[in-house]
Chains A and B, each alone.
Chain A
Amino acid sequence: MRIFQIIAVAVFAACVSKADMMMSGGMDSDASADDKPAQKTPPPEKQKKTAEKAAQKNASKNGAKKAGNPEKEPLSPYEVDSDVFISVNEIDESVLHCLKILDIKPAKLCSDAVFARRVYLDLTASLPTEDEVRAFLADKSPDKRGKLVDKLLASEKFATLMTMRFGDMLRIKAEFPINLWPNAAQAYSRFIYDSLVRNDPYGAIVRKILTSEGSNFREGEVNFFRAMQARNSVSIASCAALSFMGMRYEKMPETARHNLAAFFDRLSYKSTKEWKEEIVFADPAKRAPFSGTLPDGSAVSLSADADPRAAFADWLTKKGNPYFSRAAANRIWSWLFGRAIVSPVDDMFADNRAVNAELLDALALKFEAYNFDIRKLCRLIVMSRTYQQSPIPRAKPSEAAKYFAAYPVRQLEAETAIDVICEITGTGEIYESTTPEPYTKFPSGESAVALPDGSVTTSFLELFGRPSRDTGLDSERAASPSASQKLYMINSAHIRSKIENGAGIRPIYSKKPDEFLDTAYLLVLSRFPTKAEREAFYKIRDSRRKNDRGWTHYVDTVWALFNSEEFINKH
């Protein structure tokens, strides 16, 4: 262990902390009850003022530069031309610390337009409207980024997007191999959504799930115990470890596996007279005094009346349990930043090390200090200067990406992609499932992000890598570009008819060229066109056949915007 630590420290410079090392040794089944994992004491709360001031300073540099004045063009539409990197919060301190040691230059601050697009996508899986972009760019107030973030965090769409994220993790799906059944999948999704709308602390949500009993149709959260192929304590333990502890059950030592599963031994299932209804309950027939061992090695003794699941849930969601807060912090960071601190997020132990353990510590401690408030953690992340970096790396790209020295460019999730295409063009998709009965049909205009059931799908969603929710593994979501996807965007009748006939986009085809260009760029790319882009528009227009210089050229321009890497990627 010692030797290993020294090597690790040498390799990862100071980026690897003690706590990280502790993680890999934390599964000792023979550790004594008081052998609690040591936690770094939280650094004293930063003066909020200082942080906000720094944020303002970062932002105002940018605000003054473009503020709704497309004529006075900045050097780059994507970043602010300045080397200033002012730490806003502990995220920046940990990242800067690491970058300094590794001698990696962080990226510049992203432009207002890029920031607006980015937070809309990351926090709500949608794009700002033309008016919203214009207003945001014109806004001169120094705290406008923070205000926008607060607005988005308070929106329903934030809860919807997070419900999708948790739905992937928890395998919310009616059909094979999870077989929750449509009504149960919807009830489960609804439970998550409602909890997020109320802003229930993450710890409380997980505790509720893990101790739930009742009907799969009525108590949505009991479906946690059904969303797996085999319904037994081993399967439940494996899902709990994967989802809530970022840990692979199969990699745990045998004793630890056995101990963890024992907490779920009493669970039973019974059907009712309602078709496919199932009651999940702690079986009174299995009541007995319980003595077990928690994953950190501490012993638990319970009377026959107590539910061992509650003891596990209490231990799991207690502050100071690094399995819980770090696993969640790592996941939420990766949802927003597109790259995890320990990768993959559901296999944080064994040999997988944090690229910046100090950062993971800081996030986990803040998450606990926030009482597991998901919105507060998201705010901390997106308000950091680290998150607000430009997508253009100033160091070796692979290193910049690995150590968070630029905002990573990555493809939109399948659901987000089709939703924003629909938003911009003012069109809707039909989502329905006629397998199995009862048929599931959603009203036209339903967003793909909001689909409560992973079994309801379309060719587009499959093509663009929507996860099948078979295993709950993070790796199921495949958001890498393929020729088939490009074909679909370039040439499909589906996308084409949206661009040509969508009620939301059609009106812009009758605008004057310059107005058309502004609106088209603001709608699709959330920014004004550059001078060079305007010139290209006219130059190509004038080289076309006379008949193609009007509507056809407009449509082709919008088509090109939708087919640009700038549109299909988060940046």
Chain B
Amino acid sequence: MEKVDLTKQFAYRLHDAMIAAGFNSKRSTSGVCIHKLAEITGYSVQICRKYLRGEAIPEPTKLVDIAASLHVAPGWLLFGDAHDDANTTKNKITLSKNLLHYIFSKAACLYNGSINKLEVPDFLMELINDISLINASEEQSKKIIDLALSSVNHFNHP
């Protein structure tokens, strides 16, 4: 059995879910807006910092509140994919509406570019999946989207 600490795993998922929900912060060392978490929970910043450091897990009712605010399942937030419906989870991607809109607005170039039109949906799905998995701010994600989309017309045949 792998060495996996539930409290730390909870912290990573909380961190990821907060970034996916757009609650990232450049000023915070954790990369997420701890004050937003304090607002959601009604707890002090110190307690919220413990959640993000993997030093504590909120009680069940508070966990439900956090999950609802971050648009994720409480079970996933606490236990992760292993305790969720694996098939359902693997077929879902979570991405902020802003980033999805940005990808759609920029993707038009693909249909006018050198890439085979039939390859465009696969390319976009891969890109959306990549963006959903990276721990990055919205600004960083948009830069990556731009780089990936422009890559289609450069270095097509290494």
B and A form one assembly = no
A residues near B (Cβ < 8 Å) are none
B residues near A (Cβ < 8 Å) are none
